[in-house]
Structure 1
């Protein structure tokens, strides 16, 4: 097949199955249906990426036959040589996307030069905070600014991301395309509540690095919350998330949580669960906690450490779970359509507001649960398609 008949989307973190990977598949689905005669390829450098079928099932997205996953490979020996491995991968990526019909760069922090006929850079979060010392940040920011100016279009996944990348790159022009969420066919919207049995759920990657979800801080909150509630209330906390077995730091962080809280019968840890197990967890819990952003004091210093959108909130809300999240970053765009009172300023605020919710009557909880599930309908695929159709009509 001629390269001019191909659309390539770059994502080298498919195995994490996070919000970014969901977004990659959403764009792949859109372009495959918009251009059915072209081959849509999700390009990755992962040694053993997940299959397209497994990702489709996990995210509830039905993909067409013209979508596939392709791996750029170099030998393990070369991959492990500092700098050389990355340079070789860069060259292979560069030549692979050369002259294709469309290239969508969704590799988080990627300095890949736009080499296709049409080029889009999809930015999921304002990542300049990851660049260390001031002089390094300055050099990389200027280099990225030059690179982004060569792309036909920059897309931000939220108004928060758009605002912060505009600050980082002197008013960089971008379009906002928020991810959408497709509720599970198996979910039960009519939740019933037992006044004295409350389950809290957190679903996020187990890591203390970079975009941390702060499970350690949330566990401290749970212990404090339990102390101020009536002894009659049976409170439990379940933590689910992906755990990278190849990351020593992630495993160390996870093991530290197990060592400290593993003997508490009211706290449960479940890494790397199946989609079926995930659905079961949603259906059995009442409250959802998202911990991103609670460990950072200044949005101006490190905007990248806040939740950039928070599609996991939509997933939880679709099952009727009432969500609590930091009042900075992307969750504001979701929860402002639900109830702003569930946006929390700090960890003490999280404890206080969760306690207030738990002490509501059963009928009040049912109403809030119903409103949460109804809010999800705003972030639908039709909105996404409408926004993308407008973009395609202008830039293509």
Structure 2
């Protein structure tokens, strides 16, 4: 098959792009796969994918971006007919193409009118819809009146077992601040929580924040660094994939707080849609202490392979409990590793191939 893949956020190369590029790499083993993007950036994207995400795209080619806003709908429709199938990561939009269209959703699209004639018409030409979690599926199904499938994101573990665990609490996530200055991944909230731990008497523990930053968010990054002064808090921005996994391998506890303090009934998209970094941390033996919302509830088995917390005070209590009980920390670490196997690359590839060949 000749398969085209489109991801409108390819310039960020974060968790969502790990999903789409993993799909490209997986399918390229048996099919001819193309990514719709600027052909002139092929070398840059492939090199960055290896360095930042650890994904080899050597068997994948870039193809003229037919989904660029400057490409006419007629040209897009004609060009799409050169492919047997197209996998389209939706930002809320659904294109009209002249081939089998598989639409992937990674987050809720509450702003889209699922009852409009335009949306209903476009859905007629969609072969299948698949989501990254049941959290996303439930909201997409209600919005578009469909029965989508779930294919969990793939997690390829690169833990270095030679690296000894240290007294480190880790967080991994991109830096994203909205127009009101609210931090989507809540790194600022977690810094405050860690400082409270230290002020409460915790000694000899460090908080490491591995963070993906775009140029326009440098001011927000500097604010986080300013907040961290005087405490054992290290912020690593845009590290290599090797450095990322070194930190996963060293850390004992993993924090994730996306969705905290938000009105998730009104804005469900502000919860964590899945949480690849949580699974990566678990596979590396970190015990997750995460906010109880969104896709995190599908990953962490509360009180078994980690903790689901309902507030930052809960984070502090559960974290102190782990730090003060080495046997508990070790036992939950083993359960975390076991749980991460559910989200393997092999299972992802198998599910994706089944979707495209049914």
Q: TM-score, normalised by structure 1?
A: 0.80
State the alpha-carbon separation in 2 of the partners of residues 234 and 33 from structure 1.
Answer: 47
Structure 1 residues 225 and 43, CA, compared in 2 at 3 Å: closer, same or farther? Answer: same
Contact 1:159 1:176 in 2 (8 A): yes
Structure 1 residues 291 and 71, CA, compared in 2 at 3 Å: closer, same or farther? Answer: farther
From 140, 160, 171, give the equivalent of 1:187.
160
Contact 2:212 2:237 in 1 (8 A): yes
RMSD between superposed Cα atoms in Å? 2.9
CA deviation profile, 1:313-333 (whole Å, cap 9, x unmatched): 111112111111121211111
Deviation, 1:268, is 1.4
CA deviation profile, 1:240-259 (whole Å, cap 9, x unmatched): 111111x2xx2232222223
Structure 2 equivalent of residue 77 of structure 1: none
Structure 1 residues 269 and 118, CA, compared in 2 at 3 Å: closer, same or farther? Answer: same
Q: Secondary structure of 2:62's match?
A: strand
Contact 2:135 2:295 in 1 (8 A): yes
State the alpha-carbon separation in 2 of the partners of residues 264 and 359 from structure 1.
Answer: 24
Contact 1:9 1:104 in 2 (8 A): yes
Structure 1 residues 126 and 18, CA, compared in 2 at 3 Å: closer, same or farther? Answer: same
- Structure 1's unaligned 5+ residue stretches are 75-85, 132-136
State the alpha-carbon separation in 2 of the partners of residues 162 and 189 from structure 1.
Answer: 39
1:52 aligns to 2:26 (yes or no): no
Q: Secondary structure of 1:204's match?
A: strand
Which range is displaced more, 213-222 or 40-49?
40-49
From 231, 241, 252, give the equivalent of 2:211.
241
Structure 2 equivalent of residue 69 of structure 1: 62
1:306 aligns to 2:271 (yes or no): yes
From 190, 215, 224, give the equivalent of 1:257.
224
Contact 1:125 1:161 in 2 (8 A): yes
Q: Give the length in aligned residue pairs.
A: 353
Structure 1 residues 87 and 350, CA, compared in 2 at 3 Å: closer, same or farther? Answer: same
Q: Secondary structure of 1:258's match?
A: helix
Q: TM-score, normalised by structure 2?
A: 0.88
Structure 2 equivalent of residue 156 of structure 1: 131
From 84, 108, 111, give the equivalent of 2:91.
108
Structure 1 residues 391 and 252, CA, compared in 2 at 3 Å: closer, same or farther? Answer: same
Deviation, 1:162, is 0.7
From 313, 332, 341, give the equivalent of 1:377.
341
State the alpha-carbon separation in 1 of the partners of residues 303 and 79 from structure 2.
Answer: 44
CA deviation profile, 1:62-119 (whole Å, cap 9, x unmatched): 4462x12335399xxxxxxxxxxx7414646555424421111114333422x13211
Structure 2 equivalent of residue 272 of structure 1: 238
